Each structure stands twice: as C-alpha cells, then as structure tokens.
Amino acid sequence: MSPHHDGNDESIPDNHIFVLFGATGDLARRKVLPGLFHLAEAGLLPAKYRIIGSAPTRFAVTTEEFRRSTREAIEKFGTTKPTDATWSSFEATLSFASANSDGSGELIDAISHAEQEIGADTRRLYHLAIPPNAVIEIVRMLGSSGLNHNARVICEKPFGTDLSSARSLNAVISANFDESQIFRIDHFLGKESVDNILAFRFANELFEPIWNRRHVSYIQIDVPETLSIEGRADFFEHTGTFRDMVVTHLFQVLGFVAMDQPSSLTAGPLRDEVCRFFASIKTIDPDFVVRGQYDGYRDEPGVDPNSQTETFIALRVEVANDRWEGVPFYLRTGKCMAESRQIVTIGLHEPNAHLFPVTNDAQHRRGNMIVIDFADPGSIHTNFLAKLPGPSMFLGPAEMTFDYKDSFCAANNLEAYEHLIRECMLGNQTLFTRSDGIERLWEIATPLLDHPKPIEIYSKGSWGPKSSASVVAPHKWYLPHG
C-alpha cells in the first residue's frame, strides 16, 4: 500500500514514451518488461504509450527480435502471462532503437516518430537498466541531445561506491536533469510490506507513542539470503555486500522505520524526514562491524583467489537525536546463509516491575517484540507474554498476527518494480531516494570503507561468522527463530 496507490486507485499517467536502456539485459528481462506488461493488463499504463528498447549499436537487435524476446521474458518471469488476445496490443507498442554515448544511433529519430504518433505533449521516461560505468555517458548524451526535455530518468543502484563517486555521479545527473526529474529506484521501497510500515506507525495510535527510546530497547533489520553471487563476479568483486545491500536497501528501510512523522506522505515532507534521520546517524564504527565471506566464494569464476570482498556483513548503527539516542540499530545481510528472510524486529524494554517469576524457558524472551516480515507478501507479528494455563503465575509467549495474504485481495498487488515504474510515470517521488540522503549514507560509511575489518570465512548454509553475535550483544539476533 503506497501513500498514493491501492487497489482502487484510478490515477492514469500522462501519455508516455518509455525508453529502456539495457533492454536485452537481465534486469529488463526479469523485472522491467514483465512489469510493464502487467501494468498494461491492469489498465494502469497511460492511454497512449510506446516502449522503445535501446542498447549500443554493437548490441542492437531488430524490432521483431525485441518483440519476440520480450514475449519470451514475460512468459518466463511475468506474473501475468501473454495470450494471443492480450499480447497483440502490447506488442504493437514495442520497438527497438540503437543509441550510443556520442549521440549516434536510431534513438533520437525513434523518439521523434513516437511523439508524432502520440502527440507533442508526451512525456519521456528513461530507465537506465545498464551497468554503472555506462550511466554517466548515457546521461550526458540525453542532455546534449536535448532528450532531457519533458522527461524523467530512472537510475538503478549502486548510486556510487563511496562519497566521492556518489558526488561525481550526482553532479553529472543534476547537470542534465533537475532533481524533480530524477528517480533513484530501490525496489525494497516499492514493496507493499515496506510501505505498510508507514501505515503501521502513523495510522495507529496504538504503536506510534511507543516508537522511541523510552520504550524501544533495540531495532534489527535482517536480510539473509540463501543464494550465492550467481555468476556476478564482475559486479560483486568490486562492490561487496555492504555497498550492494546496506547503503541501498537496508538503510532505506531503516529510514522508514526510524524517521520522525512527516507533515504529510507526499514526496517533499516524507523525504525531508528520511534525510533528516540519515543526518542524525553517527559515523559507523568499524569496531562494531563483522565482515564475512562464504567458504567457496574465492572459487567462483572471476573472483580473485585472495579476495577480501565481503559476502556477509553485520553492523551496529547509533543515532544522535531525541527519539533514538542510546538505542542500537543492528543490520545484517549475507549470501549463502541458512534462510532467505527480510525481517525488522523492534525489541521493547522489559517491564521494570518484577511481578512475575522468571523461568529457565528461553522462549519467554519472545515477548515485548514487534516483528515485521517484509518479504512478499508480508506480515506483522506482535509478540507478548501471557499467563500459561494452570494454578501458578507462569508466562508463555503469545502472538498477534497480521498477514497480507489472508487480509487483502492479492489481485490488487503490484510487484515492487511495477509499483515504482508507475509512480515515476505519475511523477511521485515519495518512494525514491534523494541525492543528499545518498551522499550522507556514504559519508557515515567512510571509516568502514577506508579501514575494513578482516574477512572471516563462514560455512554455506550457516548464519554467518559466529563473531557476528558480538555485534548484537547483549541482545540476540531474532533469526534463527528459537
């Protein structure tokens, strides 16, 4: 549930030309093209639109080949499968045009032709589903060619690899597009279950009054993954888990979890509060960080046999503001771990009055806790202690649960990329990252990047290095659930 979209939202974007750079790449095939087809079938695309796939001349395909590969991608990865009846109208919107960083190629003429078909006031939306080293050249080309007029641009992570590169990237993009035209996409923020954090906090007087240091003992964001780097050594060796997952995904979720209440859920006030929270995060102390690497990572094709790239990271973050001073935030994520989960855990203080006998049953510690599972479809669990049946006052764990799959019609759901692409077309930046927020996150990460802790090897299928328990001490990781 985004601030501006639910199953009954009938907002229709302006007419659009959607240009997909990297149209033959993995991201386009897995997410973007199937997502566009689902939006079309749901009636959520503009009344008139064209989709132009693009790539450098050396990777160009014909329009017929692009249409054929797009249908294959939708059949393989899409939630909505094409049929002869549903495919023909969508197929007619698809074309392919080459584009090179020097402005040569077919793209300028293809956009002009599409505008003549649709109308002069048609908006342009560029999705840069391309490697980071190609982004700057394409952005400059769009600016020098005049294609940045009446346009918006979707930028994929990583948004730099450190403070210096982030500033350089932002400088190039802002020289060719106004900040109001720039949509830095993080698919975690398009998830219904992440957006629901805003509703859970700010629409319920039951919870928001306790969302502070007087009641909260700690907060965890835990995103273990069972998958490996899956053949992405060229990218991963130069990026690592901290840059790939923490700066983009985990910190962005943390912003929703911990920011102060905005005056409204429109883009300006909400992003102001997120960035204000980022500004209050203290510089990361490398002494409260554990970096790990799964056993066998160095045997992956393309990986340095002496690689010091982390596939796992656990860290403690501290905040200097009135709401959270003294409350530790624990972040953990890694590859080849025991489970794939996406969990926010808010641990509440134990009551001061010792009215109840303490047992040796470790499960009684599962009380006083709110657990938000933001893996699709998502759920929220409030864990508390209740009296066990019997003559004596002994406590046991109890739970109240909200589960998306049992509570709302699944047909209303959009996948994260679908949701965010539509928000781009509507011009709503609420769920997109701002340049100053990104630069602040790289700033607080500088000591960790400059002085990384040594790598610790961990077994595949484990919960990472055993020393990661020291990061969260005296608390424990919620996962594995015991």
If one counts every other C-beta atom within 10 angstroms of the C-beta of residue 26, the result is 12
- Relative to beta strand 455-458, strand 395-403 is unpaired
Q: Could you give phi then psi for residue 404, rounded to 5 degrees?
A: -55, -45
Q: Which residues contact 3 (CB under 8 A, 6 or more apart)?
A: 195, 198, 265, 266, 270, 430
Which run of H or E residues covers position 312?
strand 312-317
Whether a cis peptide bond, with omega within 30° of 0, leads into 351 is: no
User: What does the block give as tokens for 11?
Assistant: 């907002």
- Which is catalytic among the residues 5, 249, 354, 475? 249
Which run of H or of E encompasses 352?
A: none
- Name the residue type at position 464: G
Q: Which residue has the tokens 């046999």?
A: 305
Q: In terms of Cα–Cα distance, which of 145, 136, 132 is closest to 97?
A: 145
Residue with tokens 């969260």: 472
Q: Are 329 and 219 a contacting pair, CB within 8 Å?
A: yes
Q: If DSSP codes are grouped into helix, strand and coil, which group holds residue 170? A: helix
What does DSSP say about strands 289-294 and 312-317: parallel, antiparallel, or unpaired?
Answer: antiparallel
Two tokens, residue 205: 């007087």
SS3 472: helix
Token digits of residue 296? 């066998």
Vertex 359 angle, CA 357 and 362, to 5°: 135
Q: Among candidates 223, 237, 473, 266, which has minimal Cα distance to 373?
A: 223
State the angle between helix axes of 267-280 and 251-258 in degrees (0 to 180), rounded to the nearest 10: 100
For 55-72, give one letter per residue: b (16+ CB within 10 A) or e: bbeeebbeeeebbebbbe
3-state helix, strand, coil in the chain (%, to 5): 40, 20, 40
Spell out the residues 6+ positions from residue 445 whose beta carbon is closer than 8 angstroms to its own.
Answer: 162, 163, 242, 247, 284
Virtual torsion, Cα 360, 366, 369, 373, nearest 10 deg = 160
CA distance 179 to 98: 27
Strand partners, 134: none
Q: Is 354 a catalytic residue?
A: no
Residue positions annotated with a catalytic role: 249
